[in-house]
Amino acid sequence: MATRNVVKEGDPILNKVCRSVLNFDEKLAQLLDDMADTLKVENGVGLAAPQVGILKRVCIVDVGDDDGIIELVNPVITEASGEQLEPEGCLSCPGIYGTTKRPMTVTVRAQDRNGNTFFVSGEGLKARAFCHEIDHLNGVLFKEHVIEYLDTGSEG
Ligand code: NI
């Protein structure tokens, strides 16, 4: 088990656009394993590579359902529908929560750690987590989507 430090808001790495993953190698596998360990310890619903200081298009989502940890490499949202207004937070912005406006349902096309392309859909919290983590890969924090700040929420 190896955890990595979570970068906090204010670090310019969180505002950078991440590079696509081209090599599906042991280094990528190690990054994903470390991110999973980190997410568990931090008790979040998602984590993106730039949050551990790596500018690669890699993120993971775990909303606590039967799917467990979903690993997304080079993810792209291919469909989005509906709308939800729910509380949201971010492991890089501790203690800050706000109601964000997100699609209710999204479909993501991504690659797994071996480079195989797959599609995954989610609604509610999972859709929100997909949007939140993919935003991180484009240097966007959830605060840009906040409509109203709150006292509590889930962190990704
Ligand atoms: Ni986040």
CA of 131 to the centre of ligand 1 (A): 10
For 72, other C-beta atoms within 10 Å of its C-beta total 25
Q: How confident is the model at residue 15 (pLDDT cuts 50, 70, 90)?
A: very high
- For residue 151, the model assigns a pLDDT of 78
DSSP structural state of residue 92: T
**Residues 89/96, Cβ–Cβ less than 8 Å:** yes
Count CB neighbours of 60 within 10 A: 24
Strand partners, 80: 106
Averaged pLDDT score across all residues of the chain: 96
Phi, then psi, of 39 in degrees rounded to 5: -60, -40
The contacts of residue 56 (CB under 8 Å, 6+ apart) are 18, 19, 20, 21, 28, 31, 49
Is 74's pLDDT higher than 90? yes
Per-residue pLDDT at 28 exceeds 80: yes
Q: What is the pLDDT of residues 91-150, one digit of tens each?
A: 999 999 999 999 999 999 999 999 999 999 999 999 999 999 999 999 999 999 999 998
The pTM score is: 0.95
User: pLDDT tens digit string along 78-94?
Assistant: 999 999 999 999 999 99
Distance 38 CA to ligand 1 centre (A): 13
Q: Which of 133, 144, 148, 155 is catalytic?
A: 133
* Residue 34 confidence (pLDDT) above 90: yes
pLDDT band at 67 (very low <50, low <70, confident <90, very high): very high
pLDDT for position 154: 64
Average pLDDT over every residue of 5-22: 98
Q: Please indicate whether residue 155 is annotated as part of the active site.
A: no
